Amino acid sequence: MNTEYRCAGAFARGVVLWALAGICAADPPAPAGSANGAATYERMAHLEQYLMNRSAEMALARSAAPTAISEKATILTLEPQGYQTAVNGTNGFTCLVERSWMSPFDSPEFWNPKLRGPVCYNPAASKSILAYTLRRTKLALAGHSRDQMLDEVRAGVARKDLPWPEPGAMSFMMSKDGYLSDARGHWHSHLMFHVPKAAAASWGANLPGSPVVLDDREVPEPETIFLVPVARWSDGTAAPIK
């Protein structure tokens, strides 16, 4: 189960598209097949494959958290020029749908255009963790390769122009309608806690009986994510956690 939690946290890291139509047109329209028949995603697909109907994207973004939170949150949607504010919220939360480039840099689905990760950041995460998503998105929009994106993120951390997680930074991923990988589709309803680099022991993570799971992959951003599964989806229906 820990491996599954790490898969979900990977996508949720933490937001992207090509700026030039000519660059998009140069990309292959679909992923190639691997030797075992699974799709591979070597490079970014056409721009339109990552876009959504605006109203549908807003609804999917809101589904990341219970209505009492998401109905008053700022909503971002992905447009050809990047994430744009669709709704100005009043509670400090920010909800959006992340795309595949928020996966680990070594993920085979890094450019999978089908991936959709609804997430709602609390005020502390909106002031810090959201910047990681926006930075990766900006780099993808500029047509950077995966390796170039990784180098730029590392450089941003070295320059200290990517913030450390604000105290109390956390996010909701409670949507039953996300699509986080070809293998699993959507994933367990869960909360994420974003902290400066930390060890599992500091949160009692990954211990027998502990509900806290450490996302222990190496990532360039200056954060560690702890995940806690919850028993309900954002709409209140039961969500299996095993």
Regarding pTM above 0.75, the answer is yes
How much is the mean pLDDT over the chain? 86
User: CA angle, corner 52, sides to 18 and 65, nearest 5?
Assistant: 115
Residue 240 lies in a domain: no
Query: Is residue 15 in a domain?
Result: yes
Q: Give strand pairing partners of 185.
A: 181
Domain count, the chain: 1
Residues of the chain with pLDDT under 70: 1-39, 242
- Domain coverage including residue 50: 2-229
Diameter of the chain measured on Cα atoms: 53
Domain-located, residue 235: no
Whether 238 is covered by a domain: the verdict is no
Structural domain includes residue 56: yes
Within-domain flag for 239: no
**CB-CB contact of 120 with 189 (8 Å):** no
- With both helix axes pointing from N to C terminus, report the angle between 146-158 and 129-141 in degrees, rounded to the nearest 10: 140
What is the predicted pLDDT for the residue at 235? 97
Decide: helix, strand or coil at residue 229. strand
Q: What is the pLDDT of residue 38?
A: 56
